[in-house]
């Protein structure tokens, strides 16, 4: 393992003013997104849509540091025969790959899941590296309910995340470690804080046990935030303050960077929260975004599967990328959204 190289890639992934585009929706998820805009989810349509994003010159070269791809996408070629991976590299961004294979019910733990995909991961990583992937992603899902999460669910998911991360580093690939505490549910921000703290502490304990080099990874956590169904939604300031307090308590300074998931927040909420965190003074790690829906909802709608809308889709994508790029330096203002509209 060449740690200097891994650290260089991880640092580039969280460079100031840039963030990671999560374009790794599974076939089921992208079908839901396409259904919403009345587009059939065929392999060709999925390719055309993602090609539109990767050819968005402004967004990709100025505000996007890396792109997380789905297995189908990493092997696809653009309409003109250029591998999609090459389009990403040509823009100056780093190609990455989602390697987990989704979740399964966790035995003896009703309502809880464990992420699978460790079998044969070493061989898959080798092939992905040859194709150009320089980082990978694995998502663990922790739900909050009346009696959950159990320590069992937190432990097995943290163990799998660390196993995955160690395999990535052995393959010279930077692991994005994503323990997501879901914002579904009616819990308040303090309950989210408490669960996320347990999850992060257990995850870093496992990473150390399995000898993962913290300098060669990126953390992709949720923010400390109220559940969607909670009657009292925390303010932007409270989300920022509690999230930063939580991360400072749990995330070692050796980690080069943290890239948040949006987790169901609206486009502007995700941007405003990130921006407010950067206003709280210097941080020990790079802090940016790794958004999927919060970067893509607008371009999907603008494109709607029509070739004549590609330019409009790219404009919408560039706008969201720029807004989040500014937020990752604490320079975003809501008035910039109104101007664009």
Pull the structure tokens for residue 256. Answer: 């080069």
pLDDT at position 339 over 80: no
pLDDT for the residue numbered 338: 80
Structural contact between residues 61 and 17, judged by C-beta atoms closer than 8 angstroms: no
**Tens digits of per-residue pLDDT, 245-294?**
999 999 999 999 999 999 989 999 999 999 999 999 899 999 999 999 99
Residue 108: alpha-carbon gap to chain centroid = 29
List the alpha helices (DSSP H) in 171-235.
Answer: 189-209
pLDDT for the residue numbered 61: 97
Three-state DSSP class for residue 68: strand
Q: What percent of the chain has pLDDT over 70?
A: 99
pLDDT for the residue numbered 4: 98
pLDDT for the residue numbered 248: 98
**Tens digits of per-residue pLDDT, 18-53?**
999 999 999 999 999 999 999 999 999 999 999 999
At residue 277, φ and ψ (nearest 5 deg) are -65, -35
pLDDT for the residue numbered 295: 95
pLDDT tier at 230 (50, 70, 90 boundaries)? very high
- Would you please indicate which residues are annotated as catalytic (active-site) residues? 178, 220
Residue 263 makes CB contacts below 8 A (sequence gap 6+) with 180, 182, 183, 222, 223, 225
How far, in Å, CA of 256 to CA of 265, rounded? 25
pLDDT mean over 122-134: 98
Mind listing the domains of the chain with CATH numbers?
3-340 (3.20.20.70)
Residue 201: alpha-carbon gap to chain centroid = 20
Residue 338 makes CB contacts below 8 A (sequence gap 6+) with none
Structural contact between residues 77 and 83, judged by C-beta atoms closer than 8 angstroms: yes
**Tens digits of per-residue pLDDT, 149-204?**
999 999 999 999 999 999 999 999 999 999 999 999 999 999 999 999 999 999 99
pLDDT mean over 11-23: 97
pLDDT for the residue numbered 73: 97
The CA-based diameter of the chain, rounded to the nearest angstrom, is 53
pLDDT for the residue numbered 281: 87
pLDDT for the residue numbered 340: 64
């Amino acid at each position: 393992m060449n740690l200097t190289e891994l650290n260089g890639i991880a640092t580039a992934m969280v460079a100031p003013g840039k963030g990671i585009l999560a374009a790794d929706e599974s076939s089921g998820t992208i079908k839901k997104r396409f259904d919403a805009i009345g587009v059939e989810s065929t392999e060709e349509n999925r390719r055309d849509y993602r090609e539109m994003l990767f050819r968005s010159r402004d967004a990709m070269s100025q505000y996007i540091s890396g792109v997380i791809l789905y297995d189908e996408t990493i092997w696809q070629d653009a309409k003109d025969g250029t591998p999609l991976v090459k389009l990403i590299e040509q823009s100056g961004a780093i190609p990455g790959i989602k390697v987990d294979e989704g979740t399964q019910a966790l035995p003896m733990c009703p309502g809880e899941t464990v992420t699978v995909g460790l079998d044969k991961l070493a061989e898959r990583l080798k092939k992905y590296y040859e194709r150009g992937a320089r980082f990978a992603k694995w998502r663990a899902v922790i739900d909050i309910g009346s009696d959950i999460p159990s320590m069992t669910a937190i432990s097995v998911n943290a163990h799998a995340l660390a196993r995955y991360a160690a395999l990535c580093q052995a393959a010279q690939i930077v692991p994005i470690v994503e323990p997501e505490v879901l914002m579904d549910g009616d819990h308040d921000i303090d309950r989210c804080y408490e669960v996320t703290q347990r999850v992060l502490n257990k995850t870093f304990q496992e990473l150390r046990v399995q000898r993962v080099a913290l300098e060669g990874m990126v953390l992709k956590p949720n923010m400390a935030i109220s559940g969607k169904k909670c009657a009292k939604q925390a303010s932007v300031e409270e989300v920022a303050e509690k999230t930063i307090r939580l991360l400072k308590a749990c995330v070692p300074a050796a980690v080069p960077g943290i890239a948040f998931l949006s987790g169901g927040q609206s486009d502007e909420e995700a941007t405003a929260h990130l921006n407010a965190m950067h206003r709280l003074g210097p941080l020990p790690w790079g802090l940016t975004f790794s958004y999927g829906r919060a970067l893509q909802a607008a371009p999907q709608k603008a494109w709607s599967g029509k070739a004549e809308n590609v330019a409009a889709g790219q404009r919408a994508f560039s706008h969201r990328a720029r807004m989040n790029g500014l937020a990752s330096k604490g320079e975003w203002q809501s008035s910039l959204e109104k101007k664009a509209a």
